[in-house]
Amino acid sequence: MLRITENFDDNNTVRLRLDGTISDTSLAEVEEACTRHLGNSRRAIVILDMAGVVFMNNDAAKKMVQLRNEHVRIINCSPFIETLLDTVAGARRDHVHGFKS
């Protein structure tokens, strides 16, 4: 189960505090919240505050890495979540560049 709490830092920036477990199902809620806040604005920024995330599966981590860009930032990850995101991001880069682990 995942709880998403929205806080507006300013007119262009929203912080989504995530608490709980991120699965494929709950990640769809995160993606929808990001899309809603980004809308058509080129200046909007969504900050995903992961301080309350206790677990994320590999599939959700892969999608989270794809979601991260110049308008979506991920902060306050636990060491486990940070390592998971770095690992799947590295595997994705290797796959794109033709390298195998």
Query: What would the two tokens of residue 62 be?
Result: 């892969």
Q: Give me the CATH number covering residue 65.
A: 3.30.750.24
What's the half-sphere exposure (Cβ side, CA atoms, 13 Å) at 5? Answer: 10
Q: Among candidates 59, 101, 54, 60, which has minimal Cα distance to 80?
A: 54
Q: Establish if 15 belongs to a structural domain.
A: yes
User: Domain total for the chain?
Assistant: 1
Per-residue pLDDT of the chain (101 residues; tens, 9 = 90+): 999 999 998 888 999 999 999 998 999 999 999 999 998 777 899 999 999 999 999 999 999 999 988 899 999 999 999 999 999 988 655 444 344 43
Predicted pLDDT at 93: 55
Q: Give dist(CA 86, CA 90) in Å, integer.
A: 6
Q: Establish if 101 belongs to a structural domain.
A: no
Q: Give dist(CA 79, CA 84) in Å, integer.
A: 9
**pLDDT tens track for 9-29:** 888 899 999 999 999 899 999
